[in-house]
Amino acid sequence: MKDNRCLHEIALRKGTWVKFICGASNEDLTSITDLCAVYAAAGVNCIDLAADVAVINAAREGLNWAENKLGVKPWLMVSVSDGTDIHFRKAFFNPQICPKDCSRPCEKICPTNAINIKDGIVEDLCYGCGRCLPICPFQFITEKNHRLAIENFGDLISKTKPDAVEIHTAPGRIKAFENAIQSILESKVPLKRIAVSCGLEGHGISKDQLSQELWSRHQCLRRYSQKPIWQLDGRPMSSDIGVGTSRAAIKLLHNMRSIAPPGPLQLAGGTNQQTICHLDKKNEVAGIAFGGIARKLIQPFLIEAKIKNKKLIEWPEGWEQALKVAKELINPWLEKKFPQD
Ligand code: SF4
Ligand code: SF4
């Protein structure tokens, strides 16, 4: 079996890097194994996971399956945050207090069917997209912080030994960012890359201020001899809403490409099938991350497999269809074949 890990560095250089974001708060273990197997088999370079031992073990089951069957081995990346971040939250409400005659708009809007009349919100299924938060007419739904404390990063990395780590950061948090790096490096686990995820949305800063923030992270990573990936987070957790969300990621890329620090720039936040159509040139970006849209496309197969009381990897017919759908999403990037070519 060939070691294809260096292929991922080549992909970053060629601009054909693709990451699957399983979700910083996604803890639906049964779907994680299947999702990771499908996107590994489809050929992604990296799988990005919540910082949770059970989640990473579930992902490894899918990745090992794909490696044994197909010889593919994407990097396993663990996502953490150096402060409050919408990617690291879960929604909450007490179903006991809901009026009996409520039409339950919260249930209808949830993309992962995480809400039901008995449990309220099933934590493992909630990935914190926030769509239910404003929809309750009684404002019963609130958000809970759901992130690993910085001092526990090293322990998690020691236990799980990922290939790479992603740090979600925000303006004004350089000290917390450095603390996060120190905690991660306490693990002594050698990392191929440390991705830095940041955007403009919700921070009230200009592109020049974002550039300064990223340059300060660049200096910090250099001090600790770590190589970055700059994840430009256009419109966080919106890619499954509609095709128009992809414009935010492209706009951020265009704003940042001449003022960002050295290192690969990767699109995220609102990315979907349309994103590639909006690029000016083939090689203006190192790659892309797909999150909500990638999960949404495979969701019907996961539901059907569940009805059959099987994992998707144990149901050959569903597996083939799901793999076809996953490839349709990522192949234009792996091959950098633009629709107009
Ligand atoms: S709508 Fe989003 S935030 Fe609300 S329960 Fe569903 S996944 Fe969680
Ligand atoms: S919309 Fe509000 S009141 Fe109605 S079921 Fe959902 S949380 Fe309860």
Tens digit of each residue's pLDDT (9 = 90 or more) over 170-192: 999 999 999 999 999 999 999 99
Do residue 267 and residue 240 come from a single domain? Answer: yes
Top mutation candidate among 106, 119, 132 for ligand 2, by most atoms within 8 Å of CB: 106
- Look at residue 132 and tell me whether its pLDDT is greater than 60: yes
- Look at residue 340 and tell me whether its pLDDT is greater than 60: no
Do residue 217 and residue 307 come from a single domain? Answer: yes
Average pLDDT over residues 43-48: 97
**Which among 237, 59, 85 is positioned nearest to 148, based on CA atoms?**
85
Do residue 130 and residue 203 come from a single domain? Answer: no
CA-nearest residue for atom 2, ligand 1, is 129
- Look at residue 39 and tell me whether its pLDDT is greater than 70: yes
Do residue 216 and residue 107 come from a single domain? Answer: no
Among 145, 169, 184, the domain boundary falls at 145
For 280-295, the pLDDT digits (tens) are 876 689 999 999 899 9
Among 96, 115, 145, the domain boundary falls at 145
Do residue 178 and residue 251 come from a single domain? Answer: yes
Q: Which domain holds residue 168?
A: 6-84+150-334
Do residue 17 and residue 96 come from a single domain? Answer: no
Top mutation candidate among 118, 121, 136 for ligand 2, by most atoms within 8 Å of CB: 136
Report the percent of the chain where pLDDT is more than 70. 94
d(CA 248, CA 267): 10
For 236-292, the pLDDT digits (tens) are 766 566 667 778 888 899 999 999 999 999 999 989 998 998 888 766 899 999 998
Do residue 107 and residue 29 come from a single domain? Answer: no
- Please report which confidence band the pLDDT of residue 24 belongs to, taking 50, 70 and 90 as the band edges: confident
Average pLDDT over residues 90-116: 93
Give the chain's domain count: 2
Measured in angstroms, how far is the CA atom of residue 271 from the centroid of ligand 2? 30
d(CA 297, CA 326): 7
Do residue 116 and residue 79 come from a single domain? Answer: no
| Per-position b or e across 30-41, b if 16+ CB within 10 A of its CB | ebbbbbbbbbbb
- Look at residue 141 and tell me whether its pLDDT is greater than 70: yes
We report the CATH number of the domain holding residue 93 as: 3.30.70.20
pLDDT for position 215: 98
- Look at residue 338 and tell me whether its pLDDT is greater than 60: no
User: Which ligand places an atom closest to the C-alpha of 25?
Assistant: 1
- Please report which confidence band the pLDDT of residue 1 belongs to, taking 50, 70 and 90 as the band edges: very low
Mean pLDDT of all residues belonging to the chain: 91
- Answer whether residue 339 is part of any domain: no
Do residue 104 and residue 209 come from a single domain? Answer: no
d(CA 37, CA 111): 21
- Which contacts qualify for 129-135: CB closer than 8 Å, 24 or more apart? 129/237, 129/292, 130/86, 130/89, 130/91, 130/237, 132/91, 132/106, 133/91, 135/105, 135/106, 135/109
Average pLDDT over residues 303-314: 95
pLDDT for position 88: 86
Helices and strands of the chain, counted as H and E runs: 10, 12
Cβ < 6 Å from ligand 2: which residues? 93, 98, 102, 104-106, 136, 138, 140-141
- Answer whether residue 130 is part of any domain: yes
Do residue 225 and residue 162 come from a single domain? Answer: yes
Greater confidence (46 vs 244) lies with 46
- Answer whether residue 220 is part of any domain: yes
Do residue 95 and residue 238 come from a single domain? Answer: no
Do residue 121 and residue 169 come from a single domain? Answer: no
- Please report which confidence band the pLDDT of residue 112 belongs to, taking 50, 70 and 90 as the band edges: confident
Average pLDDT over residues 308-320: 96
Q: Tell me the HSE value of 187 on the side-chain side, using a 13 A CA sphere.
A: 24
Greater confidence (3 vs 6) lies with 6
